[in-house]
Amino acid sequence: MATNLLGSLRLASLHLASNEISRIESSEAERCRVISELDDIDELVRLHQARIRRFVTYSTGDPDLAETITQDTLLRAYRGRESFRGDCSISTWLTGIAINVTRDHLRSNRFRFWREVQSNGVDVHEMASFLPSDAVSPERQMLAKERVKTLYKVLETLSYNQRTIFLMKFSEEMSVDEISEILGMAINTVRTHLHRALKAVRSQLGASL
Amino acid sequence: MMHGSSTHLSDEMLDDVLIGLGSAESERHLADCAECRAKVQRFHSDVHLFNQASIAWSEAQPFRTVRAVCMAPAFRMPVALWGSFAAAILAVAVGIPVWHYEHSLSVRQESGIVQEVQDSQAQIAQDNELMQAVNAAISPQEESPIDEYGLSESSKMHLKARPK
């Protein structure tokens, strides 16, 4: 009886160890797959350029600056692809790089940055015009555009941190934990920024929220 | 905690739900309350519209490749190599003469060439003595045989006019 129990325990532990080894192997294989995906610079640009450009454009409010930061982000990602640990998605990793590149730019060009933002702001009317029609009525389409414009105008009034965190959460669909880790910010601080951003959105979008 | 005396979610609870950190109580309330559910759906709808428009705008921007920039390191390397070559050449150009000088100095010290240098210093001193002797020989302080014998007045005048 005791021998059977010991044997079962040994089998169970072997099974667990085998599972752990296969899990490590599969995560390593996944990492290798992603790194090889990062090896193709054209594919990296094709898949991620628009999303990074969107994120940086609406967090900085400057499309021209966003273009430079997007290029720099993809370049840094390509050159540093070996450092990708595989513990998050490529999108999350790239967003983290984009934030660091933006911070670097802010540090070195703080005054010029804000002056440029004043003069090179996003054309929200142009952006709203890209809303897919989805075969809805012109009235609903116009209403949708107005809501997009309103939301963007609210984002413009937020601080850089509030706006960035709002976009990370609701456009990049990152978790609060991921945002906290990427920004090196306490979870409660991230939540506070989100609450303030949502309060502003709620007050501007009206009674519907 | 529900908002005031009403049975709806407070703003903070609603925000927590939107952030994805809603409590079980909030989730239960949302399941029952169409009004609060509509608020959440409306927010997500607005965000969805914004995301659709902004990504479509971004995708419509001119496609820029970073391949050319990525290839840049390959072209930067020769510049670095040229710099290394230049540094190496400079090191050789400066190093060899310095080494040669130090090496020859040590060889001289070993073979007694320094003695030769000292000899040449003695030779210079000897030459100087000779020159002094010549100067003394032609000095006007020494009486000329012409003057001694009063052969010519004009020669005396000439000697007086000669610069010292």
Cβ neighbours for A74, distance < 8 A, ≥ 6 positions apart: A41, A44, A45, A48, A49, A52, A94, B66
Looking at domain A1-119, its CATH class is mainly alpha
**CA gap B135, B144 in Å, rounded:** 14
The residue-averaged pLDDT of B121-125 equals: 85
pLDDT tens digits along B39-62: 999 999 999 999 999 999 999 888
- Identify the pLDDT of residue A48: 93
pLDDT tens digits along A149-165: 999 999 999 999 999 99
The residue-averaged pLDDT of B111-121 equals: 60
| pLDDT confidence tier of residue A56, bands split at 50, 70 and 90 | very high
Give yes or no for residue A81 having a pLDDT over 60.
yes
- Identify the pLDDT of residue B110: 62
**CA gap B47, A147 in Å, rounded:** 9
Q: Is A180 left (phi over 0), alpha (psi -120 to 50) or beta?
A: alpha
**Residues 135 to 174 of A: which have CB under 8 A from any B CB?**
144-145, 147-148, 151-152, 169-171
Q: Does A205 touch chain B (CB under 8 A)?
A: yes
How many Å separate Cα A56 from the centre of its chain?
10
> Which residue in B52, B54, B64 has the most chain A C-beta atoms within 10 A of its own C-beta, making it the best mutation to test that interface?
B54
Q: Which of A73-77, B49-53, B87-91, B139-143 has the lowest mean pLDDT?
A: B139-143
User: How large is the greatest C-alpha to C-alpha distance in chain A, in angstroms?
Assistant: 82
- Asked whether the beta carbons of A130 and A90 are under 8 A apart, the reply is no
HEC states along B67-124? HHHHCHHHHHHHHHHHHHHHHHHHHHHHHHHHHHHHHHHHHHHHHCHHHHHHHHHHHH
Give yes or no for residue B22 having a pLDDT over 80.
yes
Q: Which of A197-206, B47-56, B136-145 has the lowest mean pLDDT?
A: B136-145
> So where are chain B's domains?
11-60, 96-137
**Given B21, B51, B56, which is nearest A171 (Cβ)?**
B51
Q: How far is CA B85 from CA B77, B80, B94, B95, B99, in A?
A: 12, 9, 14, 15, 20
Give yes or no for residue A146 having a pLDDT over 80.
yes
Give yes or no for residue B74 having a pLDDT over 50.
no
Q: How many CB pairs under 8 A join A and B?
A: 104
What does DSSP assign to residue B2? B
The strand pairing partners of A123, in sequence order, are none
Chain A residues touching B66 at Cβ < 8 A: 41, 45, 71, 74-75, 78
Q: Give whichever of A178-187, B102-111, B113-122 has the largest mean pLDDT.
A: A178-187
- Asked whether the beta carbons of A56 and A66 are under 8 A apart, the reply is yes
Chain B residues touching A142 at Cβ < 8 A: none
- Identify the pLDDT of residue B146: 54
- Asked whether the beta carbons of A144 and A186 are under 8 A apart, the reply is no
Give yes or no for residue B75 having a pLDDT over 50.
no
Cβ neighbour number for residue B38 with a 10 Å cutoff: 13
H helical segments located in chain A = 2-39, 41-60, 63-79, 90-108, 110-119, 124-128, 138-157, 160-170, 176-183, 187-205
Classify residue A192 by burial, with Cβ atoms within 10 Å: 0-12, 13-18, 19+: middle
Chain A residues touching B42 at Cβ < 8 A: 208-209
| pLDDT confidence tier of residue A182, bands split at 50, 70 and 90 | very high
Q: Which of A26-35, A95-104, B124-133 has the lowest mean pLDDT?
A: A26-35
User: How large is the greatest C-alpha to C-alpha distance in chain B, in angstroms?
Assistant: 151
**Dihedral, A50, A56, A62, A67 alpha carbons, nearest 10:** -50
CA distance A84 to chain B (A): 18
> So where are chain A's domains?
1-119
